[in-house]
C-alpha cells in the first residue's frame, strides 16, 4: 500500500528558484533579510533582491552563460545568498561545496560537476587555487575565481555589484534546468552530484508551506551550513520566501551560538542532533537567556525521543520538532507542524503535500508493508531529483521505473500517519542473523550521565561474525570504563543487541550537517 499526504495536492511550482524565493521581496523591502550574527551588519530584502540582480549582470558580463556550473565554496555569510541567487539569475547551475573541502576534494567536485567558475572567500583562496591548478593540468581550466570579500588579483562580489551591464534574462525551463548540484553519497558509495531542477526546489518550498511557515521578520538562527541541502532549504530558501530574518553564523561554536540567541532574540532554531545534544547537556547553556526561542526543529540525522525531551525541558519548550528528508528529495518529505500538540515523541512528522510513501520489506523488496511495520522507505512526488549527474546506472539503482526513490532508510508509519525513522539499511548490523540498529544503541548510550556522545558501527571479528562496537566520548571528568559501558547497555537490551567492543574517542567524527561519519569509524576499526 502507498501512504499519501493528508494535505491537498499542490501544482508543481514552475518558477526559477530566485523567483520562488524573492518574488515577494518588494512587499517588505526594508525588513532585514539577513543579519551577520557576529558583526550585526544587515541586508534588507530590497538590497538582497537588487544585489542578486547586479551580481547576475556582472557574472553574465564575465562570460557566465545558461547551463554553466559555478562552484560556490564558502562558509555561511550574509553574502552567500546574493552570490547563490545571482548565479541562478545568470542561468548557471550552482554546485555547493563544503567549506571544509581540501584542494583534492574541491578538484574532484569541480571535475565531476564540470564547473568552470568558482566563488569563494579570500581565506579559502589557497584551496581554490590549488584545485584550479589540478584542473588546468588536466586541460579543463577554471575560467575565473571570484571572492565574496576582497583579495588582490580577484574580482569580488562588490566588483560584480558595480556592473552596469543589463540584467541577463536566460530562458530557463524549471522542469528540466538544474538549479543546484549538491553532492551526496546517496544510499551507498562515493559522493555524487544530485541534479535538483528549479521545479524540484521551488515545488518543495510550496510543499513545505503546507506544514511549516515562518513569519515576516521572524528571527531564525542559521548555523547549519548553507552548502548542505538542509541549510540551503530550511535556513535560506524557505525563510527568505516567507519574509523572515535569517541571523547568520559561519560555524557552530556553542558560546557564540548561545550569545547570538540572547543578543538577537532568536525565535527559531533549526538544528541537527549534535546541537540538540549540546543544548540538553552542556553546562554553558544555563549562563544565557534563551527565553526568546519559540521552537526548535531538528533534522539531518536520527534524534532520540528522550534526548529531544531533555532538550525541550531545559529550554522550556513544549517539545523539539523534527523533520525528515534527503538531498535527493530536494529535501523535505516530512515535518512536525508547529501547531501539532499531539505529535507522538520521536516522530519526524507527517507527509508534506503531493507526496507518496511506500514501506517495503527488507527481506522481500517486492512486498509493501502496512501501518506499524518497519521497512525501507520509498518516495514519489515533484521533489524527487532528476538523477545523479552523469551517473545513469546509479540513478537507475535508486529511482525505479515507476518514479519511486529508494532512500535506504528504515522506518514505519503509525496509525495516525506519523513517520518514525529507525535506521539506515546500509548501517544495520547483522549479528548472527539478527538486525541491530545503531541509532537505537546510540540513543541508549546518550542517556548515560557520563557519556557526552556516542556512535555505533558493526565490526567483523576473526570468526566472521559482525557485532556492535561503540565509540564513546566521556563527559568531562569521567573515568568511565569499557566494562561499565558494556554492562550499562547489556542491562537494557536484548542479548543480541549488546555492545561487544568499546573504544573511547575525544570526538565522534561527523559531517557539517551532523551525520555520523561511519566510514571513518569503519576505517579506524580495520
Per-residue pLDDT reduced to its tens digit, 263-274: 999 999 999 988
In whole angstroms, how far apart are CA 387 and each of 176, 328, 395? 11, 8, 5
| pLDDT band at 48; cut points 50, 70, 90 | very high
Q: Are residues 217 and 242 in the same domain?
A: yes
C-beta of residue 16 within 8 angstroms of C-beta of residue 198: yes
181 within domain boundaries: no
Which domain CATH number covers 339?
3.40.50.12780
In whole angstroms, how far apart are CA 65 and each of 57, 104, 162, 173? 11, 27, 19, 15
4 within domain boundaries: no
pTM of the model: 0.89
Q: Mean per-residue pLDDT for 127-140?
A: 97
196 within domain boundaries: no
Which domain CATH number covers 103?
3.40.50.980
| pLDDT band at 514; cut points 50, 70, 90 | confident
Select from 378, 407, 424 the last residue of a domain.
424
Give residue 385's region: left, alpha or beta (phi > 0; psi -120 to 50). Answer: beta
d(CA 319, CA 301): 17
3-class secondary structure, 363: coil
Q: Are residues 280 and 241 in the same domain?
A: yes
Q: What is the pLDDT of residue 184?
A: 86
Three-state SS sequence of 78-114: CCHHHHHHHHHHCCCEEEEECCCCCHHHHHHHHHHHC
Residue the block writes with cell 533549526 = 270
Q: What is the pLDDT of residue 186?
A: 66
Q: Mean per-residue pLDDT for 240-246?
A: 98
443 within domain boundaries: yes
Q: pLDDT exceeding 90 applies to what percent of the chain?
A: 86
180 within domain boundaries: no
C-beta of residue 198 within 8 angstroms of C-beta of residue 68: no
Residues 6+ apart with CB under 8 A from 242: 213, 214, 215, 216, 218
Number of domains in the chain: 3
In whole angstroms, how far apart are CA 210 and each of 6, 45, 207, 328, 365? 10, 24, 6, 20, 31
C-beta of residue 146 within 8 angstroms of C-beta of residue 108: no
| Beta-ladder partners of 468 | 458
Q: What is the pLDDT of residue 189?
A: 63
In whole angstroms, how far apart are CA 13 and each of 17, 66, 68, 115, 176? 10, 20, 23, 27, 13
Helix (H) or strand (E) holding 56: helix 45-62
pLDDT at 340 over 70: yes
C-beta of residue 41 within 8 angstroms of C-beta of residue 78: yes
pLDDT at 462 over 90: no
Q: What is the pLDDT of residue 187?
A: 61
C-beta of residue 444 within 8 angstroms of C-beta of residue 470: no
In whole angstroms, how far apart are CA 522 and each of 124, 189, 386, 519? 30, 14, 31, 5
d(CA 512, CA 526): 24
Q: What is the pLDDT of residue 440?
A: 86
C-beta of residue 371 within 8 angstroms of C-beta of residue 229: no
Residues 6+ apart with CB under 8 A from 196: 178, 179, 180, 181, 182, 229, 327, 330, 385, 386
* Per-residue b or e along 125-150, where b marks 16 or more CB atoms closer than 10 Å to that residue's CB: bebbeebbebbeeeeeebebbbbbee
C-beta of residue 92 within 8 angstroms of C-beta of residue 117: yes
Residues 6+ apart with CB under 8 A from 64: 70, 87, 90, 91, 92, 117
| pLDDT band at 111; cut points 50, 70, 90 | very high
pLDDT at 163 over 80: yes
Structural domain for 265, as ranges? 206-424
pLDDT at 463 over 80: no
Q: Are residues 414 and 451 in the same domain?
A: no
Q: What is the pLDDT of residue 274?
A: 87
Select from 424, 455, 475 the last residue of a domain.
424
Select from 373, 399, 424 the last residue of a domain.
424
d(CA 332, CA 442): 25
Q: Are residues 111 and 154 in the same domain?
A: yes
Q: Are residues 38 and 114 in the same domain?
A: yes
Which domain CATH number covers 473?
3.30.300.30
Q: What is the pLDDT of residue 312?
A: 97
Q: Are residues 380 and 237 in the same domain?
A: yes
Q: Are residues 108 and 23 in the same domain?
A: yes
C-beta of residue 306 within 8 angstroms of C-beta of residue 443: yes
Q: What is the pLDDT of residue 241?
A: 98
Q: Are residues 224 and 321 in the same domain?
A: yes
Residue the block writes with cell 509493501 = 368
**How high is the mean pLDDT of the chain?**
95
| pLDDT band at 262; cut points 50, 70, 90 | very high
Q: What is the pLDDT of residue 162?
A: 97
pLDDT at 126 over 80: yes
444 within domain boundaries: yes
d(CA 268, CA 397): 38
Give the residue from 101, 102, 93 showing the smallest Cα distance to 71. Answer: 93
Tell me the pLDDT tens digit for each residue of 398-417.
Answer: 999 999 999 999 999 999 99
Q: Are residues 383 and 453 in the same domain?
A: no
| pLDDT band at 174; cut points 50, 70, 90 | very high
Q: What is the pLDDT of residue 449?
A: 95
41 within domain boundaries: yes
In whole angstroms, how far apart are CA 20 and each of 133, 211, 294? 37, 18, 26
Q: How many degrees, rounded to 5, is the angle at CA 362 between CA 361 and CA 366?
A: 50
> Do the strands 387-388 and 405-413 form a parallel or antiparallel pair, or are they unpaired?
unpaired
140 within domain boundaries: yes
Residue the block writes with cell 564540470 = 114
Residues 6+ apart with CB under 8 A from 346: 303, 304, 305, 308, 322, 420
**Residue 252 CB coordination number (10 Å):** 17
d(CA 45, CA 47): 5
Q: Are residues 445 and 508 in the same domain?
A: yes
Q: Are residues 226 and 273 in the same domain?
A: yes
pLDDT at 178 over 70: yes
Q: Mean per-residue pLDDT for 192-220?
A: 97
Q: Are residues 369 and 458 in the same domain?
A: no
Q: What is the pLDDT of residue 428?
A: 82
Q: Mean per-residue pLDDT for 183-206?
A: 88
Least confident of 100-109, 131-140, 231-240, 289-298: 100-109
Amino acid at each position: 500500500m502507498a501512504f499519501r499526504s493528508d494535505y491537498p495536492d499542490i501544482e508543481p511550482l514552475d518558477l526559477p528558484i530566485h523567483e520562488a524565493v524573492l518574488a515577494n521581496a518588494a512587499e517588505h523591502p526594508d525588513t532585514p533579510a539577513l543579519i551577520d550574527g557576529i558583526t550585526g551588519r544587515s541586508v534588507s530584502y530590497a538590497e538582497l533582491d537588487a544585489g542578486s540582480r547586479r551580481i547576475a549582470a556582472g557574472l553574465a558580463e564575465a562570460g557566465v552563460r545558461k547551463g554553466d556550473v559555478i562552484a560556490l565554496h564558502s562558509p555561511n555569510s550574509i553574502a552567500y545568498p546574493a552570490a547563490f541567487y545571482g548565479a541562478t539569475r545568470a542561468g548557471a547551475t550552482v554546485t555547493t561545496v563544503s567549506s571544509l573541502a581540501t584542494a583534492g576534494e574541491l578538484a574532484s567536485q569541480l571535475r565531476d560537476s564540470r564547473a568552470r567558475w568558482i566563488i569563494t572567500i579570500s581565506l579559502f583562496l589557497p584551496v581554490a587555487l590549488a584545485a584550479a591548478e589540478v584542473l588546468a593540468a588536466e586541460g579543463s581550466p577554471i575560467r575565473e575565481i571570484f571572492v565574496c570579500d576582497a583579495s588582490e588579483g580577484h574580482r569580488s562580489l562588490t566588483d560584480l555589484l558595480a556592473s552596469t551591464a543589463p540584467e541577463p534574462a536566460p530562458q530557463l525551463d524549471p522542469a528540466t534546468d538544474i538549479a543546484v548540484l549538491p553532492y551526496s553519497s546517496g544510499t551507498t558509495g562515493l559522493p555524487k552530484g544530485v541534479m535538483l531542477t528549479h521545479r524540484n526546489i521551488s515545488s518543495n518550498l510550496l510543499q513545505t508551506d503546507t506544514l511549516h511557515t515562518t513569519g515576516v521578520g521572524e528571527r531564525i538562527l542559521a548555523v547549519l551550513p548553507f552548502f548542505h541541502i538542509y541549510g540551503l532549504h530550511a535556513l535560506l530558501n524557505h525563510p527568505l520566501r516567507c519574509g523572515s530574518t535569517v541571523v547568520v553564523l559561519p560555524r557552530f561554536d556553542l558560546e557564540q551560538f548561545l550569545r547570538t540567541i540572547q543578543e538577537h532574540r532568536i525565535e527559531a532554531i533549526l538544528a541537527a542532533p549534535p546541537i540538540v545534544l549540546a543544548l540538553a547537556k552542556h553546562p554553558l547553556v544555563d549562563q544565557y537567556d534563551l527565553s526568546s526561542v519559540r521552537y526548535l526543529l531538528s533534522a539531518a540525522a536520527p534524534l532520540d525521543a528522550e534526548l529531544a525531551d531533555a532538550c525541550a525541558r531545559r529550554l522550556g519548550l513544549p517539545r523539539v520538532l523534527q523533520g525528515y528528508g534527503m538531498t535527493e528529495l530536494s529535501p523535505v518529505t516530512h515535518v512536525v507542524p508547529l501547531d501539532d500538540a499531539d505529535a507522538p515523541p520521536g516522530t519526524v512528522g507527517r507527509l508534506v503535500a503531493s507526496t507518496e510513501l511506500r514501506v517495503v520489506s527488507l527481506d522481500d523488496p517486492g512486498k509493501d508493508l502496512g501501518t506499524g511495520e518497519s521497512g525501507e522507505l520509498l518516495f514519489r512526488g515533484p521533489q524527487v531529483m532528476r538523477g545523479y549527474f552523469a551517473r545513469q546506472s546509479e540513478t537507475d539503482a535508486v529511482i525505479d521505473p515507476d518514479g519511486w526513490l529508494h532512500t535506504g532508510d528504515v522506518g514505519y508509519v503509525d496509525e495516525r500517519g506519523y513517520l518514525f525513522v529507525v535506521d539506515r539499511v546500509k548501517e544495520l548490523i547483522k549479528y548472527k542473523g539478527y538486525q541491530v540498529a545503531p541509532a537505537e544503541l546510540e540513543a541508549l548510550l546518550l542517556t548515560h550521565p557520563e557519556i557526552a556522545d556516542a556512535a555505533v558501527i558493526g565490526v567483523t571479528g576473526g570468526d566472521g561474525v559482525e557485532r556492535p562496537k561503540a565509540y564513546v566520548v566521556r563527559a568531562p571528568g569521567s573515568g568511565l570504563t569499557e566494562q561499565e559501558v558494556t554492562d550499562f547497555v547489556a542491562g537494557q537490551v536484548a542479548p543480541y543487541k549488546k555492545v561487544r567492543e568499546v573504544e573511547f574517542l575525544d570526538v565522534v567524527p561527523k559531517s557539517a550537517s551532523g551525520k555520523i561519519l561511519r566510514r571513518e569509524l569503519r576505517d579506524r576499526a580495520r
